[in-house]
Amino acid sequence: MSPDPHSASADLGYASVGEVLDWLDSGEVTSELLLSTLHERVSALEEEGPALHAIAGLDERALEDARRLDDERRRGERRGPLHGVPVLVKDNIEALGLPGLAGSTSLENRPSADSTLVRRLREAGALVWGSTNLSEWANIRSSNSTSGWSATGGLVANPWALDRSAGGSSSGSGAAMAAGYGPLAIGTETDGSITCPASLNGVAGLKPTVGSVSRDGVVPISHSQDSPGPLARDVDSLSRALEVLLGRPREVPERVRFSRARTWSTGHPGTDALLERVLDDLGRDLDLLDTRPPVPHERVGEDELTVLLCELHDDLSAYLAARPGEGPRSIAEVIRHEDAHAGRELVFFGHDLLERSLATGGRAHPDYAGARERNLAWARETLESALGEGDVALSGAYAPAWKSDLVNGDHPAGVSPAIQAAAIAGWPILSLPAGLVGELPVGLTLVARAGEEWALLEAARHLERLVAPVGRPTWTVPGRG
């Protein structure tokens, strides 16, 4: 085990959004200095050090943008609440100056315009300086895939233990926040793609209510379940980001009632034991309502996959057909490209999910409507049962990070049913660091009803003060402890 060998840049790299804004307002640092330091840190950790493969691309114009933001600040001008704050975005989100490839070599052309969410970030003064690597096509390509791997970016490593998974599909966003690559990153989630990397990398991550944050210019999977959302190291940073992404100020609820979903365990003994202790401790400070929601049966997962593959057929095809420049115009063309470039695209696993999606014919498939109806009924029943009279339900998130295996794919040791239920219903969900199991971080999951992001964040803010911080990654190297 070794400490971060690049601690000189860590003080700036591990700052929260609030701390960065305080430093910028006081003149203690400038956006240019902050960004230069982050560039040095990325270079040290990606090129000279452990090679996290967390970064997909850097915007060559970002230093010039930083100087412009600094000049505006000196003149007393503020574009918005994130003026001068560096932000990374997942590489399935279109941003001028960044790849926007979704990890695939088929999307050769760079975006010709900012996505709506990136435009909102820039209008708020954010310095969008780089994009993060991800599970290719956001983990909807193969049933035997390895989270965090893409043909364009390689395999993202977990800063806590470099042979462990960073989760997916917002793998690079989670690893970047754990590695001290600035105060804020944006990911996307269909089912677990923000909460999993947040839990495995020991950071905070929020998936807002589906449809509340613009998905324009985001490579899609499912209009029923997709949502962009922020990852950071503290709840306040998530709140500041959400204000911008939603386009409205935060609302502080008068009170938040907590429910403890006792049947929402991960199935991993060490993780569940830790979370039991954490929730028992919280129960001494909070009035926790006990609930026992039903857990998913096998049909739930089968129905969800049917829905996702049918919606992928329609949603991704429409996106590809409308994307400017060269590149595939359909899922069939993506498959043909990957077959033609198998030495790079198919070296570790195939694309059976893309093939199955193509075969569905989309939402017109006779199984689609019934699968979605059953899925929603189960998800809403289990979520309402979990909440009961409460506003926010608490449970575990994921077992600790598993060893990455490019041959056999992912093998997580456990996950809370909260993740799937919230994903299917489109309700907001947040992962907050809860502690360490075997020197690896695990998260606490918070779920609220649709549209209740501010109750979720207020609850998380309160819990953050009560739960001991997990600290910074240990950078364990395989074979060295």
List pLDDT tens digits, range 208-236: 999 999 999 999 999 999 999 999 999 99
Q: Confidence band (pLDDT; 50, 70, 90) for 8? A: low
Alpha helices in 14-112 (DSSP H): 17-26, 31-43, 62-74
**Residue 132 backbone dihedrals phi, psi, to 5 degrees:** -110, 145
Q: Are 58 and 130 in contact (CB under 8 A)?
A: yes
This prediction's pTM? 0.97
pLDDT in tens, 112-162: 999 999 999 999 999 999 999 999 999 999 999 999 999 999 999 999 999
DSSP secondary structure letter of residue 71: H
Q: Which helix (H) or strand (E) holds 434?
A: strand 429-437
Cα separations in angstroms, 80 against 15, 99, 122, 367, 395: 19, 26, 9, 47, 35
**Predicted local distance difference test score (pLDDT) of residue 109:** 83
CA distance 357 to 480: 43
CA distance 311 to 127: 33
Q: How many residues does the chain have?
A: 481
CATH 3.90.1300.10 residue ranges in the chain? Answer: 1-291+379-481
* Residue of 410, 470, 465 lying closest to 439 (CA atoms): 470
Q: 480 pLDDT exceeds 70?
A: no
**Residue 206 backbone dihedrals phi, psi, to 5 degrees:** -125, 125
CA distance 258 to 272: 19
pLDDT in tens, 257-298: 999 999 999 999 999 999 999 999 999 999 999 999 999 999
**Predicted local distance difference test score (pLDDT) of residue 7:** 58
Q: How far apart are the first and last CA of the chain?
A: 6
Q: 355 pLDDT exceeds 60?
A: yes
CA distance 416 to 75: 50
pLDDT in tens, 157-174: 999 999 999 999 999 999
For tokens 């998530």, the residue is 238
CA distance 446 to 435: 15
DSSP secondary structure letter of residue 167: -
Which residues carry out catalysis? 90, 169, 193
Burial class (CB in 10 A: 0-12, 13-18, 19+), 160: buried
Task: Please give the structure tokens belonging to residue 16.
Answer: 């929260």
Paired residues of 158 in beta bridges = 161
Mean pLDDT, range 90-110, rounded to an integer: 96
* Residue of 450, 479, 431, 474 lying closest to 230 (CA atoms): 431
Longest CA pairwise span in the chain (Å):
62
Task: Please give the structure tokens belonging to residue 101.
Answer: 């490839």
**Predicted local distance difference test score (pLDDT) of residue 2:** 41
CA distance 340 to 332: 12
Q: 312 pLDDT exceeds 50?
A: yes
Kindly report the average pLDDT of the chain as a whole number.
96
CA distance 192 to 190: 6
Strands 258-261 and 288-291: parallel
Task: Please give the structure tokens belonging to residue 144.
Answer: 């035997």
1-291+379-481: CATH superfamily: Amidase signature (AS) domain (3.90.1300.10)
CA distance 413 to 268: 6
